Amino acid sequence: MKKSIDQLIESLIHEKNMYDEILRLEKEKFQVIRNGNMQLLEKMTQKEQQYLMKMGTFEKIRRSVLVNVADELEVDEISSISEFLLYIEDDTVVEEIDKLRDELLKVIAEIKEVNQLNEKLMKQHLEYIQFNLEVLTGNIQEGNSYGGKASEKGKQKINLFDARI
């Protein structure tokens, strides 16, 4: 069981390091989105996907450790780290694993916050691009839609490009 515990701790440490890297990347992504550098954003997204694939490996290791411990203890299934901690008698090990789990959850929550900010910023950029496209192609509605005469609604749209094809 000692070997399984060590594997779990090592897996959690690697997983937390990967999440720390993703958090760093997400924070950098905020500046990249703000500056509108889409090529760099694409590269960062690819790097993020590589991290996520590596993290899948650590997740598999963690699950297999839980399965092994369940077999060792002759228990049907251990589905979470919290449940796993119930079977450990050494308080220092329980504290270490619990601390790692809490740190991991904290980093994940922070990633979620940064992702939400990035999403809002990206949405603003897309709305700005859409607005500019509408201005350039003449798809902006003229005037207002409050009252007015019916003839105003049928006005021809102004187009910056008056070329015929």
Whole-angstrom CA distances from 18 to 39, 95, 114 are 23, 21, 16
Whole-angstrom CA distances from 158 to 66, 83, 141, 152 are 66, 66, 9, 13
The count of domains in the chain is: 1
Q: Is 117 exposed, middle or buried (0-12, 13-18, 19+ CB in 10 A)?
A: middle
In a domain, 123, yes or no: yes
Helix-helix angle 38-72:2-35, to 10 degrees: 160
- The CA distance from 45 to 26, in Å, is 9
pLDDT (tens, 9 = 90+) of the chain, 165 residues, equals 788 889 889 989 999 999 999 999 999 998 898 888 889 999 998 998 998 888 888 888 888 888 888 888 888 888 888 888 888 888 999 999 999 999 999 999 999 999 999 999 889 888 888 888 888 877 665 555 555 555 555 555 555 555 555
Q: What are the strands, taking DSSP E only, across 6-81?
A: none
Residues 45-49: contacts with CB under 8 Å, at least 24 apart: 48/22
In a domain, 101, yes or no: yes
- Domain span at residue 50 reads 2-142
Query: pTM value?
Result: 0.72
The CATH number of the domain holding residue 41 is 1.20.58
In a domain, 162, yes or no: no
In a domain, 98, yes or no: yes
In a domain, 11, yes or no: yes
- The CA distance from 77 to 71, in Å, is 8
In a domain, 15, yes or no: yes
- The CA distance from 108 to 114, in Å, is 10
In a domain, 97, yes or no: yes
In a domain, 149, yes or no: no
